[in-house]
């Protein structure tokens, strides 16, 4: 499903001097566009939340749901979510980049070329971010929405970027479309990640082969699912840990 971009449908305009608030400083266009998109018309962005307004959240919808956009690790959200969750429902938006076009500029800001990145993100990328805060999905009234997005990224040949990019710096990343989403509203919803497994007990290698993910990502996935109570370690086979599903949470969902 393709959701058309309405990047400024939220009519709230920050007052003069508001850009010193947490969340706006050093904010990427991707983060900004997602929080406006999901806060929606009638909502407010950059709002004080938590006890006595201790935190600043990305937005709150007109129905009162708090929006948090988290592009990277969920680790920094641990304390914030713990304090906000008892007070209001929360939706964490985690973008999965399924399509990326890269524009490269020279030091004088002249565009040199544009190419399509061969890498496509998948729903399994969630566990790279969740491994640092695996209990967050257990918080009350919390939903994680994986937003499958297309983006355009601008880079500059300034010799100040990562050596992996041969010194090319990332200038900004812009949202061009929200293509689809997967909503995870409770612990049982995470059984969707095991729906294709036909063997039990199973190893991280079994999961990696079925999901077509790296051994490292398979281990992170099983670590999180263990902490969520979806699977448990049952035995060892040589050096490999064997896992089984915890039956009272098995779901028929499939993605």
Tokens 């095991």 map to which residue? Answer: 194
pLDDT per residue as tens digits for the range 45-92? 998 887 667 889 999 999 999 999 999 999 999 999 988 888 889 999
Of 40, 34, 23, which Cα lies nearest the Cα of 77? 23
Q: pLDDT for 181-191, tens place per residue?
A: 999 998 999 99
Alpha-carbon span 229 to 235, nearest angstrom: 16
Q: What is the pLDDT of residues 215-238, one digit of tens each?
A: 999 999 999 999 999 999 988 888
Domain boundaries, the chain: 18-185, 190-249
In this structure, which topology does domain 190-249 adopt according to CATH? Arc Repressor Mutant, subunit A (1.10.10)
DSSP string, 57-78: EEEE-TTS-EEEE--S-SGGGH
Is the full-model pTM beyond 0.85? Answer: no
In the DSSP assignment, the letter for residue 14 is: P
Q: Per residue in 112-154, pLDDT tens?
A: 889 999 999 999 999 999 999 999 999 989 999 999 999 999 9
Q: How many helices (H) does the chain have, and how many strands (E)?
A: 5, 9
Which phi-psi region, left, alpha or beta, contains residue 167 (left: φ > 0; alpha: ψ -120 to 50)? left
Higher pLDDT, 127 or 10: 127
- Rounded Cα distance between 174 and 255, Å, is 27
d(CA 70, CA 174): 15
3-state secondary structure of 226: helix
């Amino acid at each position: 499903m393709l959701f058309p971009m309405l990047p400024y449908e939220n009519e709230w305009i920050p007052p003069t001097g508001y850009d010193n608030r947490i969340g706006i400083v050093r904010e990427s266009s991707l983060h900004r566009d997602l929080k406006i998109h999901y806060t929606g018309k009638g909502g407010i962005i950059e709002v004080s939340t938590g006890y006595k307004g201790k935190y600043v959240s990305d937005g709150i919808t007109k129905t009162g749901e708090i929006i948090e956009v988290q592009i990277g690790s969920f680790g920094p959200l641990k304390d914030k979510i713990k304090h906000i969750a008892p007070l209001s429902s929360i939706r964490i938006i985690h973008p999965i980049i399924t399509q990326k076009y890269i524009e490269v500029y020279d030091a004088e800001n002249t565009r040199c070329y544009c190419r399509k990145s061969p890498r496509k993100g998948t729903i399994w990328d969630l566990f790279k971010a969740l491994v640092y805060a695996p209990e967050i999905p257990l918080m009350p009234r919390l939903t994680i929405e994986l937003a499958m997005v297309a983006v355009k990224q601008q880079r500059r040949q300034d010799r100040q970027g990562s050596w992996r990019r041969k010194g090319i710096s990332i200038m900004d990343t812009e949202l061009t479309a929200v293509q689809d989403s997967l909503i995870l509203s409770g612990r049982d919803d995470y059984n969707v990640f095991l729906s294709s497994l036909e063997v039990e007990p199973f190893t991280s290698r079994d999961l990696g082969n079925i999901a077509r993910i790296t051994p490292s990502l398979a281990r992170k996935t099983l670590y999180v699912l263990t902490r969520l109570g979806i699977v448990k370690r049952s035995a060892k086979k040589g050096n490999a840990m064997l896992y089984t599903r915890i039956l009272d949470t098995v779901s028929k969902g499939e993605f």
